[in-house]
Structure 1
């Protein structure tokens, strides 16, 4: 259970890092704003023409008598919109990272340099077009997995009691895992870690991943919050990626030095006595 708190602390550390680096935070907002506008336009269009789409997709119900026709198509319209909202939450991060690949790569590298003992950051050595291709390919794979989970959980939501209690909790946990994978991918791809290895790495520290991604997934349900948290989420995920790979950070060194000082002070006290 300790890892849950550690994972959450990385989320907070990432937000503090971007708060201290205002310029990076400003650039990091742009991809989220672009994606938010695109998603909002799609949801508004669905709200306006969703009923017409359902009517077009269910011609077999045209001859049904009232009120069954209205109830049936109204239910399907509500289901369609709810599913669209769920998929928006599951895919927002992947699309934002894809749109803002150069921005977030730059931000992640600066975090690495800031906390690395030697002030350096790992580099992939690949041209930009290659990095974009790998990012797009891996994002599609993750989105596909997320869609499968989303459809499954949505269907399970119709089970009485369980669907209204257990399933939403599982949904947030699953969402948190996929969010963390997408965010840590920015730092791990630069280190040449393939998707299969990234997933295995995250599964080895599930509670750490849930502690980071689940609160973030809950926060992303609030309109506009995802846009403002994304830069800090990328920064925090970079810090967490370093722990997953066992890399030292300046902060860890500082803690070690502090412990050493405390130990030295204790020895001095013993000598004095």
Structure 2
């Protein structure tokens, strides 16, 4: 058994502080694991390219249309007095909020769409990672056709992604409430992202082991100090330029180790 997996199992039985520490640092240890096991690199390249393309497309479309969205919601005031100047300042404030919301929404799009599109590649990476972590040659789950297993994996990722998006969209709208709305949106989005990122990247392993969707939610919730900190650390890395393109495959590696530790008592 690899030391990374053994450490996570011990952390799960340890104190809350230890769980949070191990969860936050898991993405970095997963990156080191990838560096030590270069045969996994081919399984990382395709998902990284998919993430880069999706982020570029979504960010471009959302940012270039942010002005039109603001105009649709509120036509830019015409300068004809002191009040109009104040309204223009407020209009630009709303415009900046829309730009920020567009960036955040691009992040959500990458998480949701990237998780679905790259799901088959994540499964391959997760399976090969588990082989190394366990030191075995076969980690296949219940007998099922390749097509059936692929469809089940995509379906699970799609369901998790859509649930995440359905929660995030109303949270983003809170940004239009001055003051407390921005703070509330930031806190809620961080909490929701942490939970669903942990769920998304442990899912390939848990799915392969035949864990039901309801039980997946239960495992994440019951081990929240460990899983939530992993999700939070991974979410923060997604905001780092260039790093975010390879963050998802690294998260799959970390999520695989975490999923095994959660699923095994």
TM-score by length of 1: 0.76
User: 234-243 or 142-151, which moves further after superposition?
Assistant: 142-151
Aligned to 1:49: 65
Give the whole-Å Cα distance in 2 for the aligned partners of 1:134 and 1:114: 24
Aligned to 2:110: 92
- Aligned counterparts, 1:17-36, within 5 A: 17-36=33-52
SS at match of 1:11: helix
- Aligned counterparts, 1:53-68, within 5 A: 53-55=69-71, 57-58=72-73, 61=75, 65-66=78-79, 67=84
SS at match of 1:221: coil
Instruction: Decide which of 190, 201, 206 is 1:188's aligned counterpart.
Output: 206
Aligned to 1:268: none
Aligned to 1:103: 121
Give the whole-Å Cα distance in 1 for the aligned partners of 2:93 and 2:179: 20
Verify the 8 A CA contact 1:172 1:218 in the aligned structure 2.
no
List alignment gaps of at least 5 residues for structure 1. Answer: 248-273
Give the whole-Å Cα distance in 1 for the aligned partners of 2:99 and 2:88: 16
In the TM superposition, what is the alpha-carbon distance from 1:96 to its structure 2 partner? 2.4
List alignment gaps of at least 5 residues for structure 2. Answer: 1-15
Q: Which structure has the bigger radius of gyration? A: 1
* Cα RMSD for the two superposed structures: 2.9
The runs of at least 4 aligned residues of structure 1 exceeding 3 Å deviation read: 52-55, 64-81, 117-120, 155-167
TM-score by length of 2: 0.78
- Aligned counterparts, 1:143-158, within 5 A: 143-158=161-176
